[in-house]
Amino acid sequence: MQPHLSDVRAPDEVVLAIARLRLAQAAVEAAESLTDQILLRSPDSWEGHLLKAKVLLERGEPGLAQGELRLSRPPQPQADVELVAGKIAERGVASRTRCRPTAARISSRRRSTRPATCTAARCCCSGAPRRP
């Protein structure tokens, strides 16, 4: 008789496989629940931490995913860990740069609206009368 998934006797590999399947099916909450179950039973499971990082990345939390990925320390180098690290870096950079262009564009617009002849800090551009 096979152990049920919710049974404590279900092997970690089986639960991890089902959690990966749930994540692939976009059932992020189910995948996270199964991953948390694995990490409670085996806190040193590098595969569990890796899957938790993938779940957090899917939820749009690259900072937390990076912290979880640091806990994933496989005994041998794993390409999957490096792939997730790259995705985290890519999404982390993308989320940081979303805010910056707005400020850069505003600054650029301010510079471009100032006539080339304006050299003083306070001039016609700032609303104060320009002195010859």
**Residue-level pLDDT at 99:** 44
What does pTM read for this prediction?
A: 0.65
Alpha-carbon gap, residue 82 to 15, rounded angstroms = 23
Q: What is each CA distance from 54 to 67, 90, 125, in whole angstroms?
A: 11, 14, 50
pLDDT tens sequence across 51-104: 999 999 999 999 999 999 999 989 999 999 999 999 999 887 666 544 444 444
pLDDT tens sequence across 45-65: 999 999 999 999 999 999 999
| Residue extents of the structural domains in the chain | 12-126
**Residue-level pLDDT at 9:** 73
Fold entry, domain 12-126: 1.25.40
